[in-house]
Amino acid sequence: VTDRRPPVGEFEWIARLVEILGGTAAPAGRPEIGDDVARIAGPDGTQWAWTVDTLVEDVHFRFDWLDPAPVGHRALTASLSDLAAGGAGPVGALVVLAGPPATIAERAEGIYRGIGDLARKSGCPILGGDLSRAAGPLHVTATALGRAPQGVLTRSGAEPGDAVWVTGRLGAPAAAIELLAADPAAGRAHAAYGRLAWPEARLDEIAWLRQRAPIHAVIDLSDGLSGDARHVAERSAVRLVLEADRVPIHPAALDAAGPDPARARAWALHGGEEFELLLCAPAGALAPLVEEFTARFDLPLTRIGTVAEGAGVAARGADGETPLEPRSWDHFG
């Protein structure tokens, strides 16, 4: 949350990871490094989705901004949201805490309570884990496993002509981070704070949609809309054209932005730390479902653009198309 810049050359390292480790997969089981989840086929053909995420103190969270329970909640949500992006329902999770004994003594119970409450609510039992002493910051790692009877969704299936949709309303987590950075007490008191502290993985929403319409590609917005739209464009070898003024902005972000709504729009476009989903589906497939979806989940489902041939991500405004560059790292750097 405080410093989301990648390690020097993170993307180069991920490329090396694929190069060094990619060859370890059997020819029939190409590794899906770069997707939200790894995909595994069971002996009966059932597809399983699997993910792991580590949150590091003072990189992904700060204890003066978040109490232990929301830290645990966010750690499990990160993995559950990956399962949602894979169109999978949770089967279980394992949790690792590693940090100084004093930190563990002070924070572990709250973190476990945050994890446990979400595990019960989302039907994702915690089946085990690990606990280790470590100097330095606390690391909270969750790995989650899910099943996708209809197959695992990826970032790579978007097709020219698809419509681009987004769940929920964006920008509140980034707003909360700016407010906290300026004044932790005021930040905690603002309406935007809840979206940062208690985010929701869209597991039920994606399951409901998949039963009613074809979905070609999905990603969760952990890196921010502009950055994650780029991941879909790259992996699907297409161009995403977003109508920036259709992107739904969370009212708490608008409130936090005060007299400058452009700040709220920037949070919504680039802010990240969201667990909303971006979906690509055939034109006309989701529109008939919007009313029932919104009523059922008390959540907007908004068409924000189209998929075209080409590459990259563009914002289409009154003055035509302009490239939409990710700003998420700069925003938090």
- Scanning residues 79 to 98, which ones bind a second copy (CB under 8 A)? 91-92, 94-96, 98
Out of 85, 108, 201, 304, the only residue in the binding site for a second copy (CB under 8 A) is: 108
CB of 65 to a second copy, least distance (A): 17
Q: For CA atoms 41, 43, 46, 51, give the dihedral sign.
A: negative
Out of 15, 67, 106, 113, the only residue in the binding site for a second copy (CB under 8 A) is: 113
Residue 7, interface with a second copy (CB under 8 A)?
yes
Out of 64, 130, 245, 325, the only residue in the binding site for a second copy (CB under 8 A) is: 130
CB of 176 to a second copy, least distance (A): 21
CB of 131 to a second copy, least distance (A): 6
Residue identified by tokens 């949602």 is: 84
The amino acid that residue 326 corresponds to is P
Residues 75, 107: contact at Cβ < 8 Å? no
**Which of residues 130 and 183 has its CB atom nearest to a second copy in the complex?**
130
- Smallest CA-to-CA distance from 70 within 186, 200, 157, 208 is with 200
- Write out the two tokens for 332: 């938090």
Distance of alpha carbon 187 from alpha carbon 179, whole angstroms: 5
Distance of alpha carbon 73 from alpha carbon 138, whole angstroms: 15
Q: Which stretch binds a second copy (CB under 8 A): 15-23, 62-70, 247-255, 316-324?
A: 15-23
Residue identified by tokens 């329970």 is: 69
- Write out the two tokens for 5: 């810049």
Residue 233, interface with a second copy (CB under 8 A)?
no
Residue 109, interface with a second copy (CB under 8 A)?
yes
Q: What's the half-sphere exposure (Cβ side, CA atoms, 13 Å) at 82?
A: 26
Out of 29, 160, 214, 333, the only residue in the binding site for a second copy (CB under 8 A) is: 29
**Which of residues 31 and 194 has its CB atom nearest to a second copy in the complex?**
31
Out of 15, 40, 207, 299, the only residue in the binding site for a second copy (CB under 8 A) is: 40
Out of 2, 63, 67, 134, the only residue in the binding site for a second copy (CB under 8 A) is: 134
CB of 313 to a second copy, least distance (A): 23
Task: Tell me the helices (H) and strands (E) count for the chain, helix number first.
Answer: 12, 12
CB neighbours (10 Å) of residue 26? 7
